[in-house]
Structure 1
Amino acid sequence: MAEMLKQQKLQYLLASSIVANDLDAKAFYDSNASTSHIIYAHKNYADVPNDQYEVTSADIRDEYNKEKNSFKVNDETRRAHFIAVNIAPSQADINQGRVLVDTTISRLSATPAVDAVNGDSNFGVDRNSAAASSITNPQLREFVTTAAPGDVKMLSFINDEFTIVKLIGSKNAVDSINVDVIAFQGDAASRDSLLDALNSGLAFEEALKRPGVAGGQADIWQTLASAPDNEVKDRLLSAGSNYFIADSMGTDARIIRVNTKRAPVNIYDFATVTYKVYPSDETIAKLNSDLENFMAGVTSADSLTVTRALSAGYTLQPAMVTANSSMLGNVPYTRNAVKWVMDAREGQISPILEDGQNDKLIVVALNDIIKPGYLPADDEDIRLALAERARNNKKAAGLIAEYAGKANDVAGYAALMNSSVDSTDVTFGQMFIPGIGVTESELLGQVPVSKEGAVVGPVKGTNGVYVYQVYGVDNESRPYSYEENAARYSQQLGAQAVLGNVIGILMNNNPVENNTLKFYTE
């Protein structure tokens, strides 16, 4: 409680100190007050062959130095690769399960209801009564509406689970009614007095105001198809238009009136029986043995390659791991593998591990240990991203040189680019340009200050080069309001934006000893 109160106080102090002044609010209003309507043509970098633009190591290094702060890491980060093998039933396990299911179908057919599987923990049994209209599974609905009582069928095999269905019987009955319900708490005399008043014309809304009434609902539909046959159900089905006491216990009672009964329909009594196939001990042993044999030839992290894994039928996946990682890559329940990575030596290969649900076998190779500072430029993912950025810069320069001054209007440039003329709206404060995307920040900054009617470009963008023309500008008709724009400023740039990152901000300037891994127990 003390820690929570401290956090609340800190958040209140931050929220109260990071507010928009008059200049902030007015600047936010101005940046969102006008919308430029443009026509544009563009040439995507992806449409230009890569082999026309060579990227060198120097190009990649230059891009890395420009964007180095984007690759900053505050915690020790470890780059690993891993194989995760599903512990799943083999075809032999499934075939053996099918034999058991076929036997069970025969037994269900020869015995009443679901007596053949009652008490057998290998099977899940769910018995239902429902009208056809309320059965959402089309295969199940078709079976119960066409089968004879006692018929049994294997309905499906999905995710290693067999589902059997048996039609136990059917009847024609009312499946739902519309009722008004009042919950009453009090002595019997007060309850009976309320009942008499309701049946003498007291409005439902007025009844809810009476002493002892704990609540109520009018005009609600109650399904009876799956309700057990008992005295309450019989009274509901035989009720007239008056209120009556459906049930009572001590000082609690339910007072009900039946408004409408639906016409009788066929109600089907059926049961679904499920059988889950699990991997046998022999299957698990073989999965372990196969993985052990494969890993016997892997002597270091560098020798565990994508090609080598694929040749053995495995998939090698990358993972960046810190002490705060909740899982290895995207595999849940793998904190034990995270702990192994954080304790391992560079180049080390793990033994075969299991996830916390015992449904995956995992081996991990630790490739690199990256100390707090910056991710290295030779990281595979970073290198590929930087190479694409450097190549796109060269494509942009080449395309601009090719098109500049070659046309007088947007349509002419569209023809040169083998593109089409499109239109969109641009407001400086928006997060993305409709029809163009979320990453064209340079274009987003240029359009609002471009002269109306002028053909601008070709200009460099993140994903291509653009030529555009502003053909109209709409100014926001809503008058300036400090309160409104200060609130919007807070959401995007002020207190609310900061509070979402407050823990990272505080940790950035303070040495923190991360003991997360000490709380993991196998």
Structure 2
Amino acid sequence: MRAALGKIRSKGVLLICIISLGLFAFIAEEAFRSCESSSAEKHQQVGEVLGDKISVTEFQKLVDEYTEVIKMQQGQDNLNEDQLNQVKDMVWNTYVQTKLIANETEKLGLTVTDQEMQDVLTQGTNPMLMQTPFFNQQTRRFDVNALKKFLAEYKAQGSTNPQLAKQYDTIYKYWNFIEKTLRQQLLAQKYQGLFAHCFLSNKVEAKQAFKDQNEESQIQLASLSYSSIADNKVTVTDADLKAKYDEIKARFKQYVESRDIKYVDIQVKASASDRAALQKEFAAYDTELAAAADPSDIVRKSTSLVAYTGVPVLKDAFPYDIAQRLDFMGVGSTSKVFESKQDNSLNIIKLVSKQQLPDSVQFRQIQVAGANAAETAKRADSISTALKAGADFEAIAKKYGQTGEKNWLTTKQYQGAPSLDKDTRNYITSLNTMSVGEVKNIALTQGNLIIQVVDRKAMVNKYVAAVVKKNISFSKDTYSAAYNKFSSFVSANLTADEIVKNAAKAGYTIQERKDITTTEHNLAGIHSTREAMRWLFDAKKGDVSPLYECGDNDNLLVVILDNINSVGYRSLEDAQVKEFVKAEVLKDKKAEMLLAKLNGVKSVTEAKAKGANVTAVNQVTFAAPVFVTATGASEPALSGAVAATAKGKFCKAPVKGNAGVYVFQVVNKSQRAAKYDEKAEMQKLRQQHMQMAGNFMNELYIKAKVVDNRYLFF
């Protein structure tokens, strides 16, 4: 035992090292796992507000919710990239604002009660309520009873009709969104109201504000512009720049990191041979459309950007470049092939018909079906004959298990359809062309439909036009040639300096963008550049990006990270800061020179003798900065000096302004023909206070340490 213990003791140091290494490995492994888990969690975070993180899943849920609301409001099935980006911005801004307000109101004990919500619904005048299906067009107010009825039906409905159930569910989700947003809005208004009541106004202030707005001065103004002194006549030292920078340093505080880039962007365009091939294609469409009685197949096979439905629609159903030509075409004629610069397309139009038709049609209908086609036709003929003889429409409809209720069909309900089958086309055309009271039996694929037009409103011009519109796009060969050339340039110039130096020789232009932040969806305004954005905010100064294929599948892009502008104060070495500071120093030094020149001047005449530009300026008030035509600038300081100078007096001292130095003589002072209304003036001041209170969100945002990582995911 002793021998064993002695052996252990002799290896004590070694054992301690082994145990220590084992413990370190265990701790390191756990730390690594923890870091790995934390890193994975971080990479799923869209952002952070007040320390609270929101994951990509949570944010996407909010985006999906708002997207459905926009679709419902605008009657769209899909949103394009720009619309989706607007939705994401709106969702993010609302999320941040809601978190900021909630944090403050929770401290204060502010809430929106159910009774307050009920009061808003009962009043029915809140603008948000006007966007709901429960807005009554006749009373022009929100109908709270219609909402209650819907909610009761939604809870009770157990419809086996999937389409009806989906409609109920869509409206229910829409209302939940409106209600949630309304609560947030009311809470924010309460909080803002607290700020507004912190600003006090009184009768003295109201009277002074009225005087500031309505007392006008007429002056003789003598001005010496800073531009009258050449920049090279002024000496600016590093010490001058440093002193001015320290004086106005607060202006250069940056709360969000931004990045400056240089980049080369190539937009691939159709070559001469591509255009010639498309022109040849359109020559064939010209011949075919002119000869076709039904242009449906021609438009479909052409893959035109404008669908042909064959039913009469309003002019605004067509793109603007098409719509503006329709009234100048004869029915049955085909236009010449023309190019539209606004959407980079070639176009040709055949005007099939132009008629005065109702924009809205009220109708009722009875669906007829039988065991077979013959029985269906016989039953439909019988119903049609009875109705034409004066039978009661609703009574017959009820006999066949239908209501026969009246419905309205408006042009906008169908004119945006991408396509219409033959039955639907026949149905819509019939409703458009039937007279009031007319009954028609329409044979459809799945049976017959008896329709009767009850009313027609708003007779308008409607058009049936076949349009072939195709983008003037490049061929694969053209794109390959552009890609190969640009790829060769990028491969031969691997550093930022080489790209900048040799771009012009290769026929490319170096462009710049300053202060790009993570809030942007696209790099340099080019679509589909999310990968480039990810690269940019992970790169180091001077790095060159890979070659990106982006845009609308027509752009080639390479980016240079030129500078990183970190959170904090931008330094004097920053080119933009230095340029701004230098301009301020030049202005100050020129002002000193011009003030010295006007020193001791006692009249406008003396100032003119020293080279000043003299003009008459009327309607100068304290409440608004005077615009000086001679220097091309607004001058608040001049407005203040004029207000403080009595009628007939010359200014006590020259005024240093934004664009020059001024002296003046007050020729006259007069009061505008406005009656003082103390109550109205007090209300104006209160509104101004509300506007000032509205700036609180910026301060809350800065203190909340908001992190926006949306660029990583969206």
Task: Tell me the equivalent position of 2:338.
Answer: 155
**Structure 2 counterparts to residues 265-280 of structure 1, below 5 A:** 270-280=465-475
Task: Tell me the equivalent position of 1:165.
Answer: 349
Residue 144 (1) aligns with residue 343 (2): no
Task: Tell me the equivalent position of 2:102.
Answer: 6
Q: Which segments of 5 or more consecutive residues in structure 1 lack a partner in the other structure?
A: 196-211, 218-225
Larger Rg: 2
Superposition deviation, residue 154 in structure 1:
0.9
Whole-angstrom distance in 2 between the partners of 1:194 and 1:415: 98
Among 343, 347, 370, the alignment partner of 2:538 is 343
Whole-angstrom distance in 2 between the partners of 1:194 and 1:483: 65
The alignment's C-alpha RMSD in Å is 4.7
Among 683, 693, 696, the alignment partner of 1:484 is 683
Superposition deviation, residue 104 in structure 1:
2.7
**Structure 2 counterparts to residues 30-69 of structure 1, below 5 A:** 30-34=208-212, 35-39=215-219, 40-69=221-250
Whole-angstrom distance in 2 between the partners of 1:98 and 1:367: 44
Q: Secondary structure at the match of 1:123?
A: coil
Whole-angstrom distance in 2 between the partners of 1:178 and 1:517: 45
Whole-angstrom distance in 1 between the partners of 2:358 and 2:675: 54
User: Structure 1 pair 294/258, CA: closer, same or farther in 2 (3 Å)?
Assistant: closer
User: Structure 1 pair 83/46, CA: closer, same or farther in 2 (3 Å)?
Assistant: farther
Whole-angstrom distance in 2 between the partners of 1:131 and 1:235: 18
Task: Tell me the equivalent position of 2:126.
Answer: none
Deviations 1:39-69 (CA, angstroms, capped at 9, x unpaired)? 3343433454333334344333333222211
Q: Is the 8 A contact 2:271 2:478 kept in 1?
A: yes
Residue 107 (1) aligns with residue 288 (2): yes
Q: Secondary structure at the match of 1:472?
A: strand
User: Structure 1 pair 152/326, CA: closer, same or farther in 2 (3 Å)?
Assistant: closer
Whole-angstrom distance in 2 between the partners of 1:401 and 1:113: 85
User: Structure 1 pair 139/414, CA: closer, same or farther in 2 (3 Å)?
Assistant: farther
- Deviation larger for 8-17 or 121-130: 121-130
Q: Which has the higher strand share?
A: 1
Task: Tell me the equivalent position of 2:626.
Answer: 433
Whole-angstrom distance in 1 between the partners of 2:438 and 2:640: 71
Whole-angstrom distance in 1 between the partners of 2:406 and 2:289: 49
More relative contact order, 1 or 2 (CA 8 Å, 6+ apart):
1
Among 646, 652, 657, the alignment partner of 1:461 is 657
Q: Is the 8 A contact 2:217 2:620 kept in 1?
A: yes
Superposition deviation, residue 29 in structure 1:
5.4
Q: Secondary structure at the match of 2:336?
A: strand
Deviations 1:106-163 (CA, angstroms, capped at 9, x unpaired)? 333454442662431532456687999x998798358624xx9455521334243101
User: Amino acid of the residue matched to residue 565 of structure 2?
Assistant: I
Q: Which segments of 5 or more consecutive residues in structure 2 lack a partner in the other structure?
A: 1-61, 63-94, 104-183, 366-386, 394-404, 411-424, 442-447
User: Amino acid of the residue matched to residue 36 of structure 1?
Assistant: E
Deviations 1:312-349 (CA, angstroms, capped at 9, x unpaired)? 33141223123333333444553432221110011101
Residue 95 (1) aligns with residue 95 (2): no
Whole-angstrom distance in 2 between the partners of 1:328 and 1:178: 44
User: Amino acid of the residue matched to residue 489 of structure 1?
Assistant: Q
User: Structure 1 pair 48/371, CA: closer, same or farther in 2 (3 Å)?
Assistant: same
**Structure 2 counterparts to residues 104-503 of structure 1, below 5 A:** 104-114=285-295, 117-125=298-306, 140=325, 144-145=329-330, 149=332, 151-158=334-341, 159-168=343-352, 175=356, 231-236=430-435, 244=437, 255-256=454-455, 270-305=465-500, 308-311=502-505, 312-355=507-550, 357-405=552-600, 408-409=603-604, 413=607, 417=611, 419-430=613-624, 432-434=625-627, 440-456=635-651, 458-470=654-666, 471-474=668-671, 477-481=675-679, 483-493=682-692, 495-498=693-696, 502=697
TM-score between both structures, scaled by the size of structure 1: 0.72
Task: Tell me the equivalent position of 2:106.
Answer: none
Q: Which has the higher helix share?
A: 2
Q: Secondary structure at the match of 1:37?
A: strand
Q: Is the 8 A contact 1:333 1:357 kept in 2?
A: yes
Q: Is the 8 A contact 2:210 2:676 kept in 1?
A: no
Q: Secondary structure at the match of 1:326?
A: coil
TM-score between both structures, scaled by the size of structure 2: 0.54
Deviations 1:200-245 (CA, angstroms, capped at 9, x unpaired)? xxxxxxxxxxxx999999xxxxxxxx99995545543xx6xxxx47
- The aligned length equals 467
Whole-angstrom distance in 2 between the partners of 1:303 and 1:25: 69
Q: Secondary structure at the match of 1:175?
A: strand
- Deviation larger for 51-60 or 388-397: 51-60
